[in-house]
Amino acid sequence: MGALDEHFEIPGAETHPLAGVTMTGAEMIVQVLVDEGVDTIFGYSGGAILPTYDAVFVHNQREQEAGRHGMPLIVPANEQGAGFMAAGYARASGSVGVAMVTSGPGATNMVTPIRDCMADSVPIVMICGQVPSGAIGSDAFQEAPVTAIMGSVAKHVFLVTDPSRLEATVRSAFEIARTGRPGPVVVDIPKDVQNWKGTFHGASRLPIPGYRQRLARLHSANLDTPACDDFFRMLSESHRPLVYAGGGVINAGAAQALREFVATFEIPVVTTLMGIGACDTTDRLSMRMLGMHGAAFANYAVEDCDLLIAVGARFDDRVAGVPAKFARSAKHIIHLDIDASEINKVKRVHFGHIGVLSDALVALLEHGRSTGFRRDWGNWHRYCDELRQTYAMNYDRGSELIQPYYVIEEINRLTKGEAIISTGVGQHQMWAAQYFDFVGPRQWLTSGSMGTMGFGLPAAIGAQFAHPDRLVIDIDGDASIRMNLGELETVTTYDLPVKVVVLNNFGDGMVKQWQKLFHKGRLSASDKSLHKKDFVKAAQADGFPFAVRLDRKADVPRVVEEFVRFKGPAFLEVIIDPDAGVYPMVGPGQSYDQMITGDWIPTRNPSDVVPPDSSQMF
C-alpha cells in the first residue's frame, strides 16, 4: 500500500465488506457515517457540500428500497439550528451528533453551536464543505478560513487536503469527539476531495499517537488500594459528607455508578446546572442544584458540609463565586475528573484522581463494600431534611397573575420527572432547573457554560429524533425563542410531537431583573412590551395544530393538561407576571452567606446579604 502505511493505521481493514471498493470521497464520508452508527444528520445544503449531500441522498434511496431506515437528513431553517439539533441529539442520546453544512456562511453560522458544545463537553462532528483545494486562500465565493475560525472553539479541526486521508480523518473525528472529555470536532472538506475517487479501506484511522496514549493512561488510571484507603479515611473522619456532581457525570455515562455509590454509603448530593439528572431529584439524598441560582438549602448544605466530594465538576464561577469561601467548613475536598487541567484549577483539593469516572466510582464502591465500610450519618440526613423544609423553593402562590413557577409545577405534576426538558437561556432556564424533577440522566438539555439564547427549540428537535417515543418539552422565553424561531417550521415539517412553552414576560427577563435591581428600573434595550409579535399566530402559520395563549390563572391546570396530553406538535404561550424574579440569587464574586432569597424563601443570615455591585452583573 506504499504511502498509506506511513499515514494510516488499518486494524482489521479486511473485515469490512466494502474494503477495496473504489468510491468517491463523498461516498466514503457517507460510509464512515454508517459505520459509526449515525442514524440522523442535521444540515443545510450549498454548493461546496453538494457531492456529499448527493451521496447521502443515493444512500438513503438504496436503504429505503431495501426497507431500511437509512440516515435521514434533517433540514433546519438556519445552520445554527442544525448545530443545536446535533447537540440536542448528542446530549439526549449520549451518541455523537452530526451536522453537515456548506462552506462560508454555512460554516460560520456553526461557530456558536461549536463553541457551545465545547463549553459543555458535548460530542458532535461537523462536516463542512470547502471551496476546491486550489482556490483556498483566494477569497473564492463562499470561502471562509474554517480552520482558523474553529481552531479556537472546537476540540479539534481537520482540513482535508490529501484525499487519501479522507476516510481516516472522518473516522478519527468521531473517535476524538466521543473519547476522553467529549467535544466538537470539525472536518473541513474541499469540494474536489469530495469528488475524488479512491480505494475504501474500511477501518483506517489517523495515527494521532499522543492523543491515544493520553486516553490509554486515563483508562489505566485505576484507584489502587492505598488511594481507596486514603479516600475512606477522609470519609470515616467526616460527619457531614456531601457529593458535588457536575456535568462530567452525565457526559461520562457515570450516573448509574454515582447513584449506586451514594445509595450504598448514604451521602447527600448536590448537582450543578449541567449535572442535573446525575441523581434522581426525587430521591431522599438529592439536595438538588447548587450555585448562583441553586436552591437555598443546597447552598447551605455546601456551606455546612465537612467533606466535599466533587465528581465531574469544575468549581466554575457560577458555583464557586469566591473559591476561598466555597465549602468553607470542609476539612477535606476530594475531586474526581477525567481532565487533569480541572484538578486544583480553582480550588485546592486534598485528594485528586484523574481517570474514567465510572471506573473510579466502581473501584471506590467495591473497596468500601469489601472492607465493610459503614457510617451512621443520620444526624446529617435529618439536618439536610430540615434545610429542605425550612428553605424550600417558594413564590407568591396567592398572586392573581400567572407565576412561571406555578406553570412548571403543573407540567411537572403531569410528567412526573420523566420528560426530556430543553430550555433557552434566561429566567425561564433557571425556573425550569429549580422546579422540574428529573428521574434520569440526559433528560435536562440546556446551554450551561455559553448561555446561548435560542438553544432550546432546536435542541428539543434533536432530542426528539434521538428519542422518538419520549415526551420532549422546550421551556423557552419570548426573547430566547426569537433567536431561532424559524425552527418552529422544522417541528411541523417532520411532524415531531415536540411541546413548546413560551413564558412571555415581554422582554429579556434576566437582564430586566438586574436593571430593576441596580439601574433604577431603566430597561435599556430589554423591554419588548411594544413588540408586535403574535407567537400563537406564528405557531399556527408554521402548522402547529395546537397553538394556545394562556393568560388566566384559573385556566392553568386545564390548559396545561391539554397541552401535555396533545398527541402532536403543541405550542403554548403563557403570559406571566412580568416582575417574577429568579431567586435564590448569589451575585458574581459573592459567597453563599450573601445569597439573596427574595420575599418567599427565608434566609438564615439576613445581615450578611449585600446586593452585588452593578458591575458584577451575570
Residue 191: active-site member: yes
Sign of CA dihedral 386, 387, 389, 390: positive
Indicate the DSSP class of residue 596. Answer: B
Answer whether 583's CB lies under 8 Å from 294's CB.
Answer: no
Residue 79: active-site member: yes
Q: Angle 60-61-67 (CA atoms, 0-180°, nearest 5)? A: 85
Q: From the candidates 142, 256, 540, 616, which is the catalytic residue?
A: 142
Q: Which residues contact 551 (CB under 8 A, 6 or more apart)?
A: 402, 574, 575
Reported as type and span, the H/E element at residue 84 is: helix 79-93
| Residue (of 216, 92, 173) closest to 473 by Cα position | 92
Q: What pairs with residue 445 in β-bridges?
A: 422
User: Contacts from 349-353 at CB under 8 Å and sequence distance 24+?
Assistant: 349/310, 350/234, 351/227, 351/230, 351/231, 351/234, 353/221, 353/223, 353/227
Residue 231: active-site member: no
Answer whether 572's CB lies under 8 Å from 428's CB.
Answer: no
Answer whether 422's CB lies under 8 Å from 85's CB.
Answer: no
Q: What pairs with residue 548 in β-bridges?
A: 572
Residue 366: active-site member: no
Distances (CA, A) of 497 to 72, 230, 469, 565, 567: 17, 51, 9, 10, 6
Q: From the candidates 191, 347, 499, 512, which is the catalytic residue?
A: 191
Euclidean distance between the first and final Cα of the chain, in Å?
57
Cα–Cα distance for residue pair 239/64, rounded to 1 Å: 62
Q: From the candidates 79, 143, 303, 410, which is the catalytic residue?
A: 79
Indicate the DSSP class of residue 283. Answer: S
| Residue (of 207, 197, 208) closest to 51 by Cα position | 197
Q: What pairs with residue 186 in β-bridges?
A: 126, 157
Sign of CA dihedral 410, 414, 418, 423: negative
Q: From the candidates 23, 289, 483, 510, which is the catalytic residue?
A: 510
Residue 126: active-site member: no
Q: From the candidates 57, 61, 64, 141, which is the catalytic residue?
A: 141
Cα–Cα distance for residue pair 524/198, rounded to 1 Å: 59
Cell of 604: 438564615
Active site residues: 79, 141-142, 191, 510
